[in-house]
């Protein structure tokens, strides 16, 4: 060996195998990291399902909603969506607001003599509460509506909180989207998720949100992004080919899927 400290020979006697050893170690680390991510995703999915079941998203056969309330509900949804867009809120905020609204009218009778103005006040309160749950940047109250006094809105917010028993962290289909897109969509082109979100908003006018499981609605919207002309057998085959989606009710998913097919 050359004893000259300036000789390049001092830098040329490393074992080249150490590079391959590093590559192998990194590969092992990546496998462990990926496995941990998969386990965390599955744990999160199971947590969502448990919460969905606990909240009791199912049809109440004894609930009768008057026609005038149904009409006022549609007007409330239109208002919520218009204000959500104007305020730059995420679509999930609009969906959560309507979920609060539907939960409210499932639990609290609305006197007919109060009519549309009262329903609009409830919808304002629901949007405010949803924004507090979902939005980092919230505008002042005056940007939501000028129709009601601030005191009336705050009292109605409290009424909604009491009727909903302060259960505001409700599950919506938006919570399932990332997981379902990863499992059901082989490709994820630009605009895929936003398109699915718009389908979720479109179904709000067609169904009472507290009567249907958010996971099934999310699955239907995701499958619509994959193929808009699936027969029930093909839809079932896609879902059953993924063991982790065992909890989905095929008939419910297909029912929402067909609703979304209507232009």
Give the pLDDT confidence score for residue 37 in this predicted structure: 62
Residues 6+ apart with CB under 8 A from 232: 250, 254
The per-residue pLDDT for range 134-143, each reduced to its tens digit, is: 999 888 888 8
Architecture (CATH level 2) of domain 67-164 = Orthogonal Bundle (1.10)
**Closest among 152, 156, 172, 154 to 164, alpha carbons compared:** 156
Which residues belong to CATH 1.10.472.10 in the chain? Answer: 67-164
The per-residue pLDDT for range 50-92, each reduced to its tens digit, is: 888 877 776 665 666 677 778 888 988 999 999 999 999 999 9
Q: Please say whether the structural domain 173-261 has been given the CATH code 1.10.472.
A: yes
Asked if 183 contacts 242 with a C-beta cutoff of 8 angstroms, the reply is yes
Asked if 239 contacts 253 with a C-beta cutoff of 8 angstroms, the reply is yes
100 pLDDT above the threshold of 90? yes
> Which region holds residue 83: left if phi is over 0, alpha if psi is between -120 and 50, else beta?
alpha
Q: Which of 15-19, 57-61, 138-142, 213-217 has the lowest mean pLDDT?
A: 15-19
Give the pLDDT confidence score for residue 6 in this predicted structure: 54
The per-residue pLDDT for range 122-167, each reduced to its tens digit, is: 999 999 999 999 999 888 888 888 788 999 999 999 999 999 999 9
């Amino acid at each position: 060996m050359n004893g000259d400290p300036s000789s390049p020979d001092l830098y040329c006697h490393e074992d080249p195998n150490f590079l391959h050893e590093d590559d192998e170690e990194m590969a092992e680390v990546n496998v462990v990291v990926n496995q941990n991510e998969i386990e965390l995703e599955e744990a999160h999915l199971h947590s969502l399902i448990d919460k969905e079941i606990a909240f009791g998203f199912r049809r109440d056969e004894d609930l009768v909603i008057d026609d005038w309330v149904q009409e006022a509900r549609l007007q409330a949804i239109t208002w919520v969506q218009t204000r959500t867009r104007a305020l730059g809120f995420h679509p999930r905020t609009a969906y959560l607001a309507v979920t609060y609204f539907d939960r409210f009218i499932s639990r609290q009778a609305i006197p007919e003599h109060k009519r549309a103005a009262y329903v609009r006040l409830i919808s304002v309160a629901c949007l405010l509460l949803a924004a507090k749950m979902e939005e980092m940047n919230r505008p002042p109250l005056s940007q939501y509506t000028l129709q009601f006094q601030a005191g009336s809105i705050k009292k109605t917010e409290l009424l909604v909180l009491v009727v909903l028993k302060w259960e505001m962290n409700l599950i919506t289909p938006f919570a399932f989207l990332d997981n379902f897109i990863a499992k059901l969509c082989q490709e994820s082109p630009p605009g895929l998720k936003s398109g699915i979100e718009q389908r979720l908003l479109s179904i709000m006018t067609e169904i009472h949100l507290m009567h249907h499981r958010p996971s099934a609605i999310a699955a239907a919207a995701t499958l619509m992004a994959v193929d808009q002309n699936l027969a029930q057998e093909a839809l079932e085959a896609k879902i059953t080919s993924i063991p982790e989606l065992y909890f989905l009710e095929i008939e419910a998913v297909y029912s929402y899927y067909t609703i979304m097919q209507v232009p």
